[in-house]
Chains A and B, each alone.
Chain A
Amino acid sequence: MAYLSTTNYLEDKDFIDKWLYTMRTGEMDLSWMKAATEKVKPHEANSRRGLTYRDLDLGSYGFTGVPEKVRGNRSYAPRGAEIPAGVPDAQPWVSRKSEVWAFNTESYYEEAVSRQWNVTTDIPWERLDSVELPETIGKALSQLMTFLTEVEMIATDTPAMWLPRLNPDFIEVKAFIAAQAMDEARHTEAFRKRALTTGWGLMKASPVNEMALKHLRDADSFSEMSVALHLVAEGNVLTMFRFSEYLSPTDVDKRIFRLVMQDEARHVGYGMQHFKYVLENFPEKREVLHAHLDEAENISFAGSAATELTESFIILAGGGLKKENIEEGIKITTKFNLKQMEEHFERLDKCGMPERKQRSKLYQMYEMGRAAAEAAGIKL
């Protein structure tokens, strides 16, 4: 046990006496009724939407007033409650707002809650009964699903690990991160179910992918995790989901990818808004962010080029394993790879880091890939 209560209540005479005394006499303390807290009355700004976290942005309960450095609350007390002496120090790792905050965090959470879906019942699995895919396509699809299951399992673990480390005053961020963990668990479920329904079972785990995923999981700070996960990895995965939808061999697969891309795009949205927030509110961190990006781009380049992923995409895009299929598959997959990199730099540019291209090795890879594609006659 890492933590033991500083009092053994089961053997503490004063505590037990008070418990029995209240039972015996009905005498109550009631000091909590005089809590020194603010009285507010929130209203729905839009009755169609309901009572949102934004509607609760009032006085000491609001998120607007949360200071850059939260020194007043290190316990589990909800923001705005009276904090009496004797609450434990929860030892949050992150108590600096700019380390976690994003513009519109509360809206991302509300959107996440309202757009939840159910893999078991929202996917028309029964339509697969009449589907018979050629062996190579079925196996390639299962390999893609195996790869994505691997990705989504770590995408569940990673944000969830940060939940107890965040100061409780960051309620909205914690709620968003909790919703994200749920989203990623759902994606794991969707991809595992689809892999098994191909009839080929799961295919092979990817060492390169797992090295990349380990980097996400072991980030040293929330910002490093967010840059690597929300902005870089999920940005790439969003493009990958769109590409997978485009290549999907059945309308069931199309629906799966349309639904997962919605969640993924929301996570990318948070990542972008967080990145912008850090650059605007903690400008001295720009160089640190570049260093995070150096690593995140390295692992994302490796993950995106993993054999298990690339080859399944080439087969799905080309429609098989014949020479002409492979030629066509390589053309389409190359266009996707370059588009993925282009969109990454577009996002960074718009977030306020236009200089990234100049120092990024990934951008050099992009230019090299583009030149190679043009030389190979691939129309971009």
Chain B
Amino acid sequence: MAISFPSTDYFEALKGKMTAQQEKFRRLGFIDTTFGVKVGNNGKARNFVLEFEVFDLKNVREVDAIDLKKVDFMIEGDARVWREMIENIHRNGEADSSHDLNTLAHFGEQLKIVYDDPDGHDKLYRFMESIQKFFDLSSQVEVSFS
């Protein structure tokens, strides 16, 4: 059954895949960061906070708004961009060179990285490969878009 994006179910599904592929994520190393995901849609937004610890996604929750002082950074984008990224991952097994997170977010034209503390912002890059591989797990999940 397809899992709706955006939703906590979607992130929980990726979490399950991450746990099932422990060896791969252990090989990438510790990932200790809490970040927000904001999906905009016609002036409204759904917000999620993802808390990674050691090798796992420890916790994911939907919130009304993301407090930038309580997360390292937030990845913000329109539902259309998120959908294009996830569909691309699904087609290719991983994001192709036009759809990886850094490319989409680099000049803030597609996705935007928002942060309060540049040290928190740099955590996106400290854990970039783990975060990218986490989103690449979307290739193993049937996703529907509301």
In angstroms, Cα B106 to Cα A114, docked, is 27
**Could you say which of A48, A111, A273, A335 contacts B119, with CB atoms under 8 Å apart?**
A273
Shortest CB-to-CB span from A322 to chain B, Å, is 22
What per-residue 1/0 map shows which CB atoms of A213-255 lie under 8 Å from chain B? Answer: 0000000000000000000000000100111011010110010
Cβ–Cβ < 8 Å partners of B55 in chain A: 48
B100-146, CB < 8 A from A: 100, 102-103, 106-107, 117-119, 122-123, 125-129, 132
Partner of A343, one of B100, B118, B132: B118
Known: A114-B29, A269-B119. A243 touches B125 (CB 8 A): no
Given contacts A49-B54, A259-B129, contact A246 B103 (CB under 8 A): yes
The complex places the Cα of A178 from the Cα of B122 at a distance, in Å, of 21
Given A48-B54, A110-B30, A111-B30, A262:B125 Cβ within 8 A: yes
Within the complex, the shortest CB–CB distance from B138 to chain A, in Å, comes to: 17
B106 touches A242 (CB 8 A): yes
**Cβ-based interface call for B32 (8 A):** yes
In the bound complex, CA of A344 to CA of B14 (Å): 35
A148 contacts across to B, CB distance below 8 A: none
**Complex contact A269–B106 (CB within 8 A):** no
**Nearest chain B residue, comparing its CB with the CB of A48:** B54
What's the least CB distance linking B18 to chain A, in Å? 13
Whether A272 sits at the interface, judged by CB under 8 Å, is yes
- Residues in chain B near residue A259, CB distance under 8 A: 129
Is residue A128 within 8 Å, beta carbon to beta carbon, of the partner chain?
A: no
In the assembled complex, A362 has its CB within 8 A of some CB on chain B: no
- Kindly state the interface size class of chain A when it binds its partner: 35 or more
A46 engages B54 (CB within 8 Å): yes
> How far does the alpha carbon of A343 sit from the alpha carbon of B123 in the complex, in Å?
14
Chain B interface size, as a band, is: 20 to 34
Q: Does B97 contact A (CB under 8 A)?
A: yes
A343 to B119, CA, bound (A): 11
Q: Which of B9-64 contact A (CB under 8 A)?
A: 28-30, 32, 53-56
Q: A110-B30, A111-B29, A246-B106 are in contact. Are A347 and B118 (CB under 8 A)?
A: yes
Pick from B54, B56, B97, B128: contact of A251, CB under 8 Å: B97
Closest to A248 in B: B97
State which residues 243-279 of A face B: CB under 8 Å. 243, 245-246, 248, 250-251, 254, 258-259, 261-262, 264-266, 268-269, 272-273
Let me know if A350 and B117 touch, CB within 8 A: yes
> Does B84 interact with chain A (Cβ within 8 Å)?
no
- The CA of A265 and the CA of B72, in the complex, are separated in Å by 14
Is B67 on the interface with A (CB-CB < 8 A)? Answer: no
Contact B102 A49 (CB under 8 A): no
- Beyond A251-B97, A258-B129, A335-B107, 14 additional contacts (C-beta under 8 Å) are A46-B54, A48-B54, A49-B30, A107-B32, A115-B29, A115-B30, A242-B102, A251-B96, A261-B102, A261-B125, A262-B129, A265-B125, A265-B126, A350-B119
